[in-house]
A and B are shown apart, each in its own frame.
Chain A
C-alpha cells in the first residue's frame, strides 16, 4: 500500500502547478483549466484520506467538488461566449483580459 504522504506530495505539486497557472495565465480558458487542476488536487487529497480513515465521506466530498468545478466552468464559458459575441470574433480571448 502506498503511504498517504506520497499522495499528499503529489497533490501539493498539482495544486502549485494549478495555482501558478491561474495566477500567471492571461487567457480565461487557461485560467479555468488551471483552477480545475487545483480542484483536482483537493480531490486527490480527499480520496487518499478517505482510504486512510476507511470512511466514505472523502469520496463523497470529491463528487461534490467535481460537480462544482463543472458548474463554474460552464458558467465561465457561458459568460465568455457572450463577451466574445459582443466584441466580435476578431478579438482574441487574450486582449480583453490583459489587465488581469
Chain B
C-alpha cells in the first residue's frame, strides 16, 4: 500500500464518496429520525415516518443517478462495485422499506408503546442491504450483512412485552449469530486461499490455479460448506425452521413482515454475490447444495403452514417455501455442461421482485385489517372482511392468489418461469417437485379466503383503514397484477441486471 497522508487520501476518494450517496443518505435520515423521536410526544410518534420516507425517496433518487450508466464502476480500492446488480437489489430494498413504513405508520399500538426507533432501524437495515449489494470485499460484505442482521434483531425486540413471550426473538438472534459465525469462519478460509479480502482478487487467484493442490481444494470445499451453510441456514432455516415464525408471537406485525422479507433479500444478495464470483469453480457442488436446501425449505415451509391458524405464522412459513423456489432458480443458472444460464438467474431475480411485492402485500393486509380488541392474529379475525371492507377483502384475496401462484398474478408467472427453466435445463425431476410443492399451499390459503368470505355477524371490531395505508396497498396490488399480466419488461430488466454477475 502506498504511504498516502490522510487528507490526500480523502481528496483522492472524494469521487468515490459520491457513489455511496444512497447509503449515506439512509444513515443520515435514520439518525435524524432518532433525533426527531426525542422531541415528539407519545401521540405524535407517527410523524417519524416523514423523515424516514423522505430519506428513502432521496436515497432511491440517488441510487438511480449513481447506477444510471449501466456499467460497473469500482471505488475505494475495488472494495465497492456499483453495477446494475447493486442497483437492482438496492431498488428492491428501498421499495420494501418504503412500502413497509407507509403501512405501519398507523399500526395499532397503545399510546406509549409506539416506538420511533422502529423507523430508524428500518432505514439502517436498508442502508446495510444497499451496501451489501455493492460490496466487492469480504470485510465490507461481512459488515454490511451484520448491519442488516443486527438491525433486524433489534427490530424484532421492539413492541410490547405483554404480547407473548420474547423467547422467540432471542432464539432468532441466537440462530442468526450461529450462522454469522459459520459465515465468518468461511470468510477467514477464503482470505487464506486468496491472500486478499477483495472478491475480484480472490476469484482471479482461484481461477488462475489450473489445478488446485489437495489442501487448497480442501480449504475451498470447507469455505464453501461454511459460508453456504451459514447463508442457507438463514434462507431455508432448515434445522431452525421454527425461529422466524416464532418471532411473530411477540414482535409487532410490521416488524415480522419486514424481518421475514428483508432477511431473505439480504441472504440472497450475499449468496448470489459469492456463488458467481469466488465459488464459480465449485458450481457443481453448490448447485447440489442449493437443490437440497431448496427441497428442504419447500417441504418444511409447505408442511408447517398446513395446520397454522395464526395469519402471521402462516405467512412466515409460506415465505420459507417461496425461498425454496428462488434457490431452485439459482441452481438452474448452471447448465448441465457447467456453462452459465442467464435465463435461470433472470428468473431468480424476477422471483425475488415478485416475492417482495406479494409477500409484503399479504402481510400488509393482515396488519391493516387486524381486529382492534384482539391482540393476536388468529384467522377468525378476518371473518366477514369482504362484507365490511369489500376493497380490502378483495385485495387480500388477490394477493393470496399470488402467494399460491394462480394465473393472473406475479406469483404464477414467477413459479412458471422457474419450472420452465428447470425443464429447459433437463432437471425434469426437480421441475416436477417444484410443481408438486405448488399444490398444498392452496389449502391454508383457502382457509383464509373462507374466513374473509364468512358472515359479518362474527366479525370483530376493526380499526378504520387510513389513507396512507391505501396509498401503500394500492401499488402492491397493482404491481402484483402488472407483473402477472405484462411480465416481459420486468423479466428483461431482472435478467439484464443480474447477468452482470457472470462476467465479473
Task: Identify the A interface with B (CB < 8 A).
Answer: 4, 8, 11, 15, 18-19, 22-23, 28, 31-32, 35, 38-39, 41-43, 45-46, 48-50, 52-53, 55, 57-58, 60-61, 64-65, 68, 71-72, 75-76, 78-80, 82-83, 86-87, 96-97, 99-100
Contact = CB atoms under 8 A, between A and B. Distances in A.
B178 A65 contact: no
Contacts of A19: 178, 181-182
A76 B142 contact: no
A87 B164 CA distance: 11
Contact of A45 (B153, B165, B171, B189): B189
A15 B230 CA distance: 14
Nearest to A98: B167
Contacts of B161: 82, 86
Given A75-B157, A82-B161, 15 more contacts: A11-B188, A23-B178, A42-B184, A42-B188, A61-B191, A61-B197, A71-B150, A72-B173, A72-B180, A76-B170, A79-B166, A79-B170, A80-B170, A86-B166, A96-B167
A82 B157 contact: yes
20 contacts: A19-B181, A32-B174, A38-B178, A38-B181, A38-B185, A42-B185, A42-B188, A46-B188, A53-B195, A57-B139, A61-B142, A64-B143, A71-B146, A72-B177, A76-B170, A78-B157, A83-B167, A86-B161, A87-B165, A99-B242
A35 B177 contact: yes
State the main secondary structure of chain A at its contact with B: helix
Interface of B: 138-139, 142-143, 146, 150, 153-154, 157, 161-162, 165-167, 169-171, 173-174, 177-178, 180-182, 184-185, 187-189, 191-192, 195-197, 242
A46 B191 contact: yes
A76 B184 contact: no
Contacts of B169: 79
Nearest to A15: B185
Contacts of A23: 178
A25 to B, nearest CB: 10
A50 B197 CA distance: 10
Nearest to B143: A64
Contacts of A80: 170
Contact of A42 (B143, B178, B187, B195): B187
A46 B196 CA distance: 11
Nearest to A45: B188
A78 to B, nearest CB: 8
Contacts, number: 125
Given A35-B181, A64-B142, A86-B161, A58 B191 contact: yes
A22 B195 contact: no
A61 to B, nearest CB: 5
Contacts of A55: 195-196
A83 B177 CA distance: 18
Nearest to B183: A42
Given A55-B195, A60-B139, A76 B173 contact: yes
Given A55-B196, A71-B146, A71-B150, A49 B174 contact: no
B192 A52 contact: yes
A45 B170 contact: no
Nearest to B146: A68
Contacts of B171: 97, 100
Contact of A35 (B157, B174, B191): B174
B185 A45 contact: yes
A40 B143 CA distance: 17
Contacts of A86: 161-162, 165-166
A87 B184 CA distance: 34
A65 to B, nearest CB: 5
Contacts of A38: 178, 181-182, 184-185
B138 A61 contact: yes
Nearest to B198: A57
Smallest CB-CB A-B distances: 8 pairs:
A38-B181, A45-B188, A49-B192, A42-B184, A53-B195, A42-B188, A42-B185, A83-B166
Nearest to A57: B197
A61 B181 contact: no
B256 to A, nearest CB: 16
A61 B165 CA distance: 36
B187 to A, nearest CB: 7
B178 A97 contact: no
Contacts of B177: 32, 35, 72, 76
A64 B162 CA distance: 36
A62 B82 CA distance: 26
